[in-house]
Amino acid sequence: MSFSTTLIEKRDAALAKAEAIVSAATADARELTVEEDAEITASLADVRSLDEQIEKHTELEKRSAEAAELRKEKKFDVAVGGTVVKSEARTYSPQAGSSFIADAFAAQFNNDYSAQQRLARHMNEEKIERRDVTSANFAGLVVPQFLTELAAPFARAGRVTADLARKHQLPESGLTISLSKVTTGSATAAQTEGAAVQETNMDDTKLDISVVTIAGQQNVSRQSLERGTNIDSLVMADLVSSYNTVLNTAVVAELFSSAGQSVTYTDASPTVAELYPKLVDAVQKVQTTFFAGPNVMIMHPRRLAFILAAVDGQSRPLAVPTPTSSGQPAYAYGSGAAQYGNSGYSILGLPVYTDATVATNKGTGTDQDTIYIGNSQELHLWEQGDGTPMMLRFEQPKAAELDVTMIVYGYSAVTANRYPNAWAQINGTGLVTPSF
């Protein structure tokens, strides 16, 4: 919905309110009261003000859309001093002179027309780039990617497991996602001529998945917003980083609660050689019950370090950076350079992802971590838009102190319970805090 459309809805609501008062008085065959007359006057004043804003923003959006189409179709090659301009920089970027946060603040509280223009242009750019942006009002601005793209890999643990999940678009409304889960399947059998054909009625149950809200806020002084440098990048990156980490922690917790297969590794003196059969057991349990193979292994960084630190009787590592033809035994091999989340190593042919949000306080001693082995296509994550949180709001509960509250929030839902047996978890005393 465009900003002008939102204004039109407000104008129509104000007009309808005035008309309703007049209609009620007419139906009762009476004069308007002083209060009703004042309400009508106020509503009409709102209508006139909104008409002016609608005219302004409709023209702005029309021009922005035309400019965006020209950029999209590359029909705007303009020769300037012998140079052909092929593209135009985005409104908000690390190199841009304008601040997204400062503009959002100025547009909402100072009615800054230039800031409103830049924000409208930014939203049109997002529509072209992402195709799924629908909100253009100040309660739902899409945060520029450059303010959020560095937040997940750095600062906090990020969203390693969440990024592995199978992504779905969150529905436009509702606080629960309901899926049909077949609990009794149909059946076939060999038929003797003339005998009845096998018939087994299918049955299902409803799987309800709650939509949760993750949000955070930060109080920022108006001086910082209006006169500071890079305050928007600092505050937004920190809020988004926290958002992603909390979301990812919830995804990992869903694996812990829903993984249908369990392997226990009990060992007072854990070794990689003794852990290895447990990994194989987890793989076969997924294959046996889910009838398809796992495609990923997720563990805490300390658990992979435990594996990488292990050596054989000749002090040779049991995990090597690349496969070797020297006959050296190895439980894990490097499969490429380490990237965000992906360790670059594989075990049993499965890529190993390290996630620092994997809990390390499990077990009676609150010192155990968990290894997850499963099929990432059966870890389902619903998010709004393209997964960027991110709606931006400004509130002023502390206006007397010249403080502005910035809020980042987003909605999501996750389940690994559609096919629980697609995942196995390994727990036990063999996964206590390792020593190096």
Quick one: three-class SS letters along 84-153? EECCCCCCCCCCCCCCHHHHHHHHHHCCCHHHHHHHHHHHHHHHHHHCCCCCCCCCCCCCCHHHHCCCCC
The confidence score (pLDDT) of residue 401 equals 74
Q: What is the distance, to the nearest Å, from the Cα of residue 235 to the centroid of all Cα atoms in its chain? A: 18
Q: With 80 as the cut, is the pLDDT of residue 417 above it?
A: yes
Q: Are residues 126 and 147 in the same domain?
A: no
Mean pLDDT of 91-97: 73
Query: How many structural domains is the chain composed of?
Result: 2
**What's the rounded mean pLDDT across residues 212-236?**
76
What percentage of the chain carries pLDDT values higher than 70? 78
- Alpha-carbon gap, residue 225 to 231, rounded angstroms: 7
> Which CATH number covers residue 262?
3.90.1690
- Residue 193 lies inside a defined structural domain of this protein: no
Do 124 and 158 lie in one domain? The reply is: no
Q: Does residue 188 lie within any of the structural domains?
A: no
The share of the chain scoring above pLDDT 90, in percent, equals 35
pLDDT score of 173: 86
**Quick check: is 34 in a domain?**
yes
What number is the average pLDDT over the span 11-15?
A: 85
Task: Determine, yes or no, domain membership for 43.
Answer: yes
* 167 vs 377: CA distance, rounded Å: 9
Nearest alpha-carbon partner for 177 in 432, 414, 429, 424: 414
Q: Are residues 66 and 148 in the same domain?
A: no
Asked whether residue 376 falls in the same domain as residue 405, the answer is: yes
pLDDT, residue 41, reads 86
Answer yes or no: is pLDDT of 411 > 80: yes
* pTM of the model as a whole: 0.67
pLDDT at residue 377 above 70?
yes
Reported as a pLDDT band with limits 50, 70 and 90, residue 328 is low
**Would you say 422 and 378 are in contact if contact means Cβ atoms under 8 Å apart?**
yes
pLDDT given at position 400: 65
Q: Tell me which DSSP letter residue 326 carries.
A: S
pLDDT over 50 (residue 133): no
In this structure, the answer to whether residues 416 and 369 fall within a common structural domain is yes
* Boundaries of domain holding 98: 3-78+85-130
Q: Of 298, 328, 299, which Cα lies nearest the Cα of 311?
A: 328
**Minimum mean pLDDT among 140-154, 337-351, 368-382, 418-432: which range?**
140-154
State the chain's mean pLDDT as an integer: 81
Residue 284: the pLDDT is: 97
197-207: average pLDDT:
87
Residues 102 and 154 in one domain: no
Residue 18: inside a domain: yes
Q: Say whether both 236 and 343 belong to one domain.
A: yes
Q: Do residues 265 and 403 both lie within one domain?
A: yes
pLDDT of residue 337: 66
Residue 196 lies in a domain: no
Instruction: Evaluate whether residue 136 is within a structural domain.
Output: no
What is the distance between the alpha carbons of residues 247 and 156, in angstroms, rounded to a whole number?
A: 12
Are 237 and 345 found together in one domain?
A: yes
Whether 104 and 234 map to the same domain: the answer is no
User: Within this chain, do residues 305 and 411 fall inside the same structural domain, yes or no?
Assistant: yes
299 has pLDDT over 60:
yes
